[in-house]
Copies of this chain bind each other. A is one copy, B any other.
Amino acid sequence: MAEAVETKFAQSQLRELNTALANGRFVSVRKLLHELPPSDVALLLESSPTKTRDELWDLIDGDIHGDILEELSEDVRNGIISKMVPARVVDALEEMDTDDLAETLSSLPDEVLQDILQSMDAQDRFRAEQALSYGEETAGFIMNTDTITLRPDVTVDVVLRYIRLKGELPENTDTFYVVNRTDNLVGLVPVTRLLTADPEDKVADVMNSEAEAIPVDMPDNEVASLFERYNWLSAPVVDEKHRLVGRITIDDVVDIIREDAEHSMMSMAGLDDEEDTFAPVWQSTQRRSVWLAVNLVTALMAAAVSDLFEATLSQMAVLAILNTIVPSMGGVAGNQTLTLVIRGMALGHVNPGNSRWLVSKELAVGFLNGIIWAVLIASVIALWKQDLTLGLIIAFAMLVNMIAAALSGASLPIVMKKLKIDPALAGSVILTTITDVVGIFAFLGTATLFLI
């Protein structure tokens, strides 16, 4: 066992595979690919440029295609599927759990999805359409249907004998579900409870009937926070009539937590969170251009504000030199507040009851920061440019912009959430526009009044 640990964790097989690939020893590559667990093969594919990725995929046997596809990230998976013959995709999908099937199919471009559905036989197509019937990003979408159900009136001994007869349990089974004749969920029995119970006890006596069930239409990020908050390993999913329809396991929730957290980080840089690091150049260029276009408009707006003060600028070049300092400080301070509030909302800390308090607090922080940096920048400029008035003007602009930054950083995400706009995606660009415009206006405006 010690050795097994070594080889896996050191990823020596992966390294060996990379070497074999670089030297064109395809027979070794093929052999190694089939020795690695599917999740390691998925990691290898995700870490390879598209060309290598396609070469590797061609070396992999069809019967493990499904296992690998379900471990891949959306962008990479779609790239591979769109190059496969529909019939082979259908074969790969057959082995998948319902949640992985739903995720794989829903992310495909529409024409590819239609091709694949048409290549399926009636039974498979029914299963696929069933999996797709719940809205994306809901509990129904991420649940699995392989639950083991018990009746309340049988004894633990009967259950134990039934399980022994069955031989194997679905992956990650930690709880059995107790349902009545109409399939309504009436309780849970943890696997460990079966071990400690008296074999003569009825299921009804050992079950936990207080536990919660997840409604099938609950948004997946709410599901994730419940799992996090209550340290669940799995949870039953019920429909509107409280009938058991499936279960959600922690491994699927982990993916959602990772994706949610990444989503904020990627969105704030104007990136799609599924963006494939190793995508072809042209595809990456297109994806990034949206954000650059938005920023160009912002930058031109800032330039237009400066343009209002052309006469002032042409009289004093020093104003042009210092013109970027105030907007830049406002942008940083505002983005700090924005990030903190977005994180607070994601963790469920910010609610209507405390948001006014939060905005006031951030305003106070902005005011204090404004004072501190105003004094500092006034001293620096007065010394550098030997001009006290200029120092006082930039200090005033700094204070104004720091307050504007705090106010917009704290209130933008709250307002945007009410308007159902994703604050991580649009918040930063709106904020920067505000701090640029206010910063330039305050600095050049005051300078025009007092210096010209």
Contacts and interface: CB of A to CB of B under 8 A. Distances in A.
Given A163-B195, A310-B318, A320-B313, A329 B369 contact: no
A266 interface: yes
B281 A300 contact: no
Interface string A352-372: 011001100100110011001
A269 B339 contact: yes
A369 to B, nearest CB: 6
A222 B303 CA distance: 47
A265 B271 CA distance: 13
A104 to B, nearest CB: 17
B350 A228 contact: no
Interface string A161-201: 00110111101111000000000011100011011111000
B47 A351 contact: yes
Main secondary structure of the interface of A (DSSP, over half): helix
Contact of A285 (B288, B338, B368): B368
B233 A46 contact: no
Contacts of A49: 354, 357, 361
Nearest to A8: B212
A275 interface: yes
B340 A275 contact: yes
A386 interface: no
Interface string A279-315: 0011011001101100110111011001100110110
Contacts of A373: 292, 296
A187 to B, nearest CB: 7
A164 B172 CA distance: 22
A236 B295 CA distance: 50
Contacts of A168: 196
Contacts of A347: 46
Given A191-B192, A192-B173, A329 B233 contact: no
Interface in A248-273: 250-251, 253-255, 257-258, 261-262, 264-266, 268-271
B212 A354 contact: no
Given A265-B261, A310-B317, A291 B254 contact: no
A449 interface: no
Given A39-B229, A317-B310, A325-B299, A288 B333 contact: yes
Interface of A: 1-2, 4-5, 8-9, 18, 37, 39-40, 43, 46-49, 160, 163-164, 166-169, 171-174, 185-187, 191-192, 194-198, 209-213, 215, 218, 222, 226-231, 233, 242, 250-251, 253-255, 257-258, 261-262, 264-266, 268-271, 275, 277-278, 281-282, 284-285, 288-289, 291-292, 295-296, 298-300, 302-303, 306-307, 310-311, 313-314, 317-325, 327-329, 332-333, 335-336, 338-341, 343-344, 347-351, 353-354, 357-358, 361, 364-365, 368-369, 372-373, 376-377, 380, 436
